Structure 1
Amino acid sequence: MSPTPSGAAAAVGGAVDTVLDRSVVLGFSRIGPAVRRRLPTWPADPAPGALIGRHAAVTGATSGLGLATALGLLRLGATVHLVVRNPEKAERARATLLDEVPDGAVEIHLCDVADLDDVRRVSAELLAAVPHLDVLVHNAGAMPPTRTESPQGHELTMALHVLGPVLMTELLLPAMTGRHARVVLVTSGGMYAQRLREDDPEYRTGDYSGTTAYARSKRAQVELLPVLQERWAGAGVEVYATHPGWADTPGVVDSLPTFHRLTGPVLRDAAEGAETTVWLVAQDPPPPGGGLWHDRRERPTHVRPGTRTEGASVRRLWDWVADGARLADGGARA
């Protein structure tokens, strides 16, 4: 356990941490964790075996942040459930995980999280197969270059990053109730540049941009955190978003080649990007939910003028989510 820093040391450490965060390049790159780990305010690592006896599901876990998250959870003793689309990639991911942790337990559940019917199917499968669920990490992501729709006719990034995760969590609540369970939405720093577009959640107006759509959907995740925390608190579930920083993943290489070329030397590796998600779900007792976390610290959700959101806008977005996911009680608990 890390010693408690003195008041002066904590103040200096907190100030350095904040400067890193506001600088963006220093805080989001691999420089951020390299410096923060040396500060007296850096929290202790999870205890070995912290997740023994726990079940954890990770979506999009065949590569990049998802695979790194699954490995981190497996190393702490969790039984890990890979919720993924591609069966061949899933088997390769399971083999990779078991090479690293030979006595680990890894299960595969096939699902396209953007397809709400498939989410309903896999949620029923998980409820039947898993005695309880302690961790649910919504990591699956995509950045289509042109406007694409899900099988239910929703803009793909909003279906995959918002509708699917909300519906899956709702359906899996019976397995999480009373478990001090944690739900994590893996978001992106790109959301800092966008305001909430509850007036056009399907991105039907204006020239479509894949990067903008991705960032808008991530902004929606973050804005919904207080609603989701209140909604699921009765089940004892804590809800977080985690920002991985700038991580070198296949998604970045494929979708943002210029960004990858320019920032490659300072990008975090996938394990560094997933580190806060793994740390957060292993804390006992859990930190209060409803916030955005990065490098083991809760962070502001707005850093640029013009992106702040009024409560009425969030409520309108929630009504759209509840309607799109066909939640049984609509927005009654929003």
Structure 2
Amino acid sequence: MSLAGRLAGAVDTALDRTIAPGYSRVGYAVRSRLPGWPEDPEPGALAGRHVLVTGASSGLGTQTARELAALGAHVQLVVRDRAKGEAVRAGLAAELGEVFTLRTCDLGDLEAVARLADELAAEELPLAALVHNAGALPATRTESPQGHELSMALHVLAPVLLTERLLPHLAGQATRVVLVTSGGMYAQPLRDDDPEYLTGDYSGTTAYARSKRVQVELLPVLQRRWSGAGLHVYATHPGWADTPGVLESLPTFHKVTSPVLRDLHQGVDTTVWLSAVRPAPAGGSLWHDRRVRPVALTSKTRSTPGQVDRTWRWVCETLELPEEV
């Protein structure tokens, strides 16, 4: 590697490990100008293909849909609130044309997720990517219709179930699966002993981070499981992005950091890049700013294979899936 390449790598790593500079708009601005910044997807890279984006009615979800459509995709917008989703769909269509289909689904409800998967499979859409972006940060412990802690149901169980139910249809399509996670997961260890947050004083922020920790820890498991169907599995965290969710759920954080928060384009850049760039990067890893990142930064949050195995067993038992396929 050239000296310039080594220096660029050192700057990139320093930004990543110091958190605040790397997660802010400063980190994106610096990295995107360093030597070795990966090329953008080609114009029209998704022409003739469909992409599914959950949580598409605001913030990062809407921006992801916008940028994927700009690359030629027909975007399936999955929302919970149909009226809000229809307003977003109409706005996007006015910008980019009638290349958006609205679908309503409460992703916290596993029965609704199964129905959505069956609906999509019946239509046999050429799906280039599934972007699992939907998220929530409940202030108090909330259960899904099936009795699961809502953060875990929405961020882990729903994406796995939706992808699993679509798997026979996706075989051979080289589909990308992108889990939009959070840098907050770096603060939490994998709680394989209490995935439903049944013990201790409940914190919505902690529950959110724990569920995001599960997402990244399961990446190698999901890549092995789904690779036979030709899928590439990634997680990406957007850094500190200025979204309605951050403003609503973390108002103090938003107020303090607002001068350096990323705009929506910067927040979705790697999600869009992973969904469209050719050839597909190797799956099974966490990404941020178009680079693979470690899933743990300290020994306190580093998981053991046994913890990951027990967590995956809980997911399979909960969703009634075989552990191996």
1:188 to 182, 203, 217: 182
Distance in structure 1 (CA, Å) of the matches to 2:129 and 2:2: 34
| C-alpha distance after superposition, 1:8-40 (max 9, x if no partner) | 111111111111111111100000111111111
Q: Which residue of 2 aligns with 1:91?
A: 86
Q: Which residue of 2 aligns with 1:3?
A: none
Residue correspondence of structure 1 range 260-279 to structure 2 within 5 A: 260-279=254-273
Stretches (4+) displaced over 2 A:
129-132
1:122 to 113, 116, 124: 116
CA contact (8 A) 1:192 1:303 kept: yes
Q: Quote the offset at 1:187 in angstroms.
A: 0.3
Distance in structure 2 (CA, Å) of the matches to 1:88 and 1:203: 33
Q: Which residue of 1 aligns with 2:298?
A: 304
Q: Which secondary structure state, in structure 2, belongs to the residue aligned with residue 281 of structure 1?
A: helix
Q: Which secondary structure state, in structure 2, belongs to the residue aligned with residue 134 of structure 1?
A: strand
Distance in structure 1 (CA, Å) of the matches to 2:2 and 2:140: 52
Aligned alpha-carbon RMSD (Å): 1.0
Q: Which residue of 2 aligns with 1:13?
A: 8
Alignment length, in residue pairs? 325
Residue 232 of structure 2 is aligned to residue 211 of structure 1: no
Residue 102 of structure 2 is aligned to residue 108 of structure 1: yes
Q: Which residue of 2 aligns with 1:224?
A: 218
- Which residues of structure 1 form unaligned runs of 5+? 1-5
Q: Which residue of 1 aligns with 2:50?
A: 55
Residue 24 of structure 2 is aligned to residue 23 of structure 1: no
| C-alpha distance after superposition, 1:138-179 (max 9, x if no partner) | 000000000000000000000000001000000111222111
CA contact (8 A) 2:40 2:277 kept: no
CA contact (8 A) 2:225 2:324 kept: no
TM-score normalised to the size of structure 1? 0.96
Residue 160 of structure 2 is aligned to residue 166 of structure 1: yes
Distance in structure 1 (CA, Å) of the matches to 2:177 and 2:80: 20
Q: Quote the offset at 1:326 in angstroms.
A: 1.9
Q: Quote the offset at 1:129 in angstroms.
A: 2.2
Identical positions, percent? 62
Residue 316 of structure 2 is aligned to residue 332 of structure 1: no
Distance in structure 2 (CA, Å) of the matches to 1:283 and 1:131: 20
CA contact (8 A) 1:85 1:111 kept: yes
CA contact (8 A) 2:128 2:176 kept: yes
TM-score normalised to the size of structure 2? 0.98
Q: Which secondary structure state, in structure 2, belongs to the residue aligned with residue 279 of structure 1?
A: helix
